[in-house]
Structure 1
Amino acid sequence: MSIFEMILLAIVQGITEFLPISSDGHLAVVNALLQAGGKGEVPDLLETTIVLHLGTLASVLIFYRREIIRLLTTNRRAILPLIAATIPAGIIGVGIEKGLPDETTKWLLESPLFAGFGFFITAAALWWLGRTKEGEIDYPDTPTWKAVVIGFFQAAAILPGVSRSGLTISSGVGLGLRREAAATFSFLMAIPVIGGAGLLKIKDAVDKGTTSTPIPTLALGFIVSMLVGIAALWVLLRMLRRGRLELFVYYLVPLGIAVTSWQLLK
């Protein structure tokens, strides 16, 4: 993979991980566009995706550093709902990664056609969010059963095109959380999921003894996705406070139509 391609993918990842438009879906589409343009398929897209996800994980750790410190000191009652919300995605993610043949996993998680359909699901969630009144629950007070429900929505976002932030924030607000509390809960619950996926992929790379992409190129992607991710988090929270996330519907629906039409007619 060239440095240009890695920077492009890192920028896409940094923007789309936190804005509710699906990072995995955009990476799958960009990969397919590069291949169609004669650049060749990105070698081991899952490997590259995990490294870029770790970059955006660093964004969360930096952006929410004060909230994380409170979580570990004075706000520890929030730990239980966060654990409960993590379990569904952990079980389903490991089941897909380890329980399915590599070819099936690649087809399921990297398909641009699936990404196209997933964009419609995300658009529907954001449309619904725009018509839902926020509740009064702060995220540390989230009942365990509600946390598990939000966790299943996070698990659904394993599929490309289905935005993790879009579904978890929408479901959180629908279950009575304040908008900003739902966003904080969404990004804090992503820490163990993204970190766990990264550890699994690192273990695979160690077992192979190498990576398909040079380490310096992967490191560059990590840094770029981290910096862009911090900026994207700032933008998302400003839009969320103003009740403007549904504006992304006007981007996702045409994108979904374009991608599915391209894949079905090619």
Structure 2
Amino acid sequence: MSNLEMILLAIVQGITEFLPISSDGHLAVVNALLQARGEGEVPDLLETTIVLHLGTLASVLIFYRREIYRLITANRRGFLPLIVATIPAGVIGVGIEKGLPDETTKWLLESPLLAGLGFFVTAAALWRLGRTREGELDYLDTPPWKAAIIGLFQAAAILPGVSRSGMTISSGVGLGLKREAAATFSFLMAIPVIGGAGLLKLKDAVDKGTTSTPVPTLALGFMISMLVGIAALWVLLRMLRRGRLELFVYYLTPLGIAVTSWQLLK
């Protein structure tokens, strides 16, 4: 993979990881577009995706560093809902990664057709969010059963095109959380999921003794996705406070039509 391709993917990842438009879906579509141009498939897209996700994980750790510190020192009751919400994605993610044939896993996680269909799912969730009244519940006080439901929505976002932030924020507000509390919960519960997936993938790379993409190129992608991710988080919270996230419906719906039509008619 060239540095230019990595920069493109890192910018896409940094923007789409936090804005509710699905980073995995956009990476799958960009990869398919590169192939359509005759540039070949991005080598080991899963490996590249994990590195870029780790970059945006660093964005969360930096952006929410004070909230994480308070969680560790004074608000430890928040660990229970976070742990409960993490379980579904962990179980399903490991099941897909370890329990299915490699070809099936690759199709489930990288298919541009699934991404196109997933964009419609995200658009529906955001449309519903725009019509849901904000609750009064802080994420620290989320009952375990509500945390489990939000966790199931996070697990659904394993599929490309289904936005993790869109699904978890919309479900959180639907279950009575404040909008900003739902966003904080969404990004804090992403830490163990993204971090765990990244560690598993890095372990595989270490066991192999090498990666198919040069380490400096991966490092470049990590840094760019981290910096762009911080900016995207700032934009998302401003839009969320103003109740404007549903505007992304007008982007995702035509995108879903375009990608799905392209894949079905090619």
Tell me the TM-score range normalised by the shorter chain.
over 0.9
- The residue number in structure 1 matching 2:251 is 251
Alpha-carbon separation, structure 1, partners of 2:75 and 2:263: 47
Give 1:209 deviation, angstroms. 1.3
| TM-score normalised according to structure 1 size | 1.00
- The residue number in structure 2 matching 1:34 is 34
Match of 1:224, as an amino acid? I
Give 1:174 deviation, angstroms. 0.3
Alpha-carbon separation, structure 1, partners of 2:148 and 2:131: 23
Unaligned runs of 5+ in 2: none
Alpha-carbon separation, structure 2, partners of 1:148 and 1:210: 38
Give 1:38 deviation, angstroms. 1.2
Matched, 1:50 2:50: yes
Unaligned runs of 5+ in 1: none
Local SS of the residue matching 1:125:
helix
- The residue number in structure 2 matching 1:216 is 216
- Overall identity of the aligned pairs, in %: 89
Match of 1:161, as an amino acid? G
Match of 2:27, as an amino acid? L
- The residue number in structure 2 matching 1:118 is 118
Matched, 1:24 2:16: no
| TM-score normalised according to structure 2 size | 1.00
Alpha-carbon separation, structure 2, partners of 1:263 and 1:207: 36
Matched, 1:161 2:179: no
Give 1:215 deviation, angstroms. 0.3
Give 1:164 deviation, angstroms. 0.1
Alpha-carbon separation, structure 1, partners of 2:149 and 2:211: 36
Alpha-carbon separation, structure 1, partners of 2:145 and 2:212: 41
Give 1:73 deviation, angstroms. 0.3
- Matched residue count: 266
Local SS of the residue matching 1:177:
coil
Alpha-carbon separation, structure 2, partners of 1:217 and 1:206: 17
Task: Map Cα deviations across residues 99-125 of structure 1 (whole Å, 9 max, x no partner).
Answer: 111111001100000000000000000
Which 4+ stretches in 1 moved above 3 angstroms? Answer: none
Within 5 Å, give how 1:129-168 maps onto structure 2.
129-168=129-168
Give 1:39 deviation, angstroms. 1.1
Match of 2:121, as an amino acid? I
Matched, 1:92 2:99: no
Task: Map Cα deviations across residues 41-77 of structure 1 (whole Å, 9 max, x no partner).
Answer: 0000000000000000000000000000000000111
- The residue number in structure 2 matching 1:67 is 67
Local SS of the residue matching 1:211:
coil
- The residue number in structure 1 matching 2:238 is 238
Local SS of the residue matching 1:162:
coil
- The residue number in structure 2 matching 1:102 is 102
